[in-house]
Amino acid sequence: MSRTIKRRYKQTRQEFKRDLYEVVKDNRAFAMLIIETYAAQKHKYHIMKVWELLGFYHKEAYRDYCDKLMGKHLTGRHEIMRSLYFADKNLHEKYWRRIPERYAMGDALGIAYRVLKSNK
């Protein structure tokens, strides 16, 4: 993303990081929720790339994949704001649609790693 977009959300992101850190430092399970949400998001992205590659380049393998494995795994929405909605509704309401999802996920992941690495 461009610098101008980053600058537009800079103040809101700093507030988001401070508020999230205050919530997460007392609840390490919330930090794990953030990390698991990130991992689920990346798994879904990987599955979609496999579908795309098989569908475009290997039609027979794609049909075989769909016939045998389709419906055997879970997919859905894996977003940080959705996780915040169920973990801390006040935080969700304060920052809903104020920060792009990509920035919110990166900031939340950084906070989660920082809290879990601390020895407290």
CA distances from residue 99 to 15, 23, 74, 87, 120 in whole angstroms, order as listed: 11, 18, 27, 18, 29
For the CA atoms of 22, 23, 26, 32, the dihedral, rounded to the nearest 10 degrees, stands at -120
Question: pLDDT band at 120, cuts 50/70/90?
Answer: low
pLDDT digit string, tens, across residues 60-114 = 877 777 777 665 555 666 788 888 899 889 998 999 999 988 899 999 999 999 9
Other Cβ atoms closer than 10 A to 67: 8
96: three-class secondary structure by DSSP: coil
pLDDT digit string, tens, across residues 2-60 = 788 788 999 999 999 999 999 999 889 999 999 999 998 888 888 778 877 777 777 78
- Distance separating alpha carbons of residues 8 and 5, to the nearest angstrom: 5
Domain spans of the chain, in order of start: 10-117
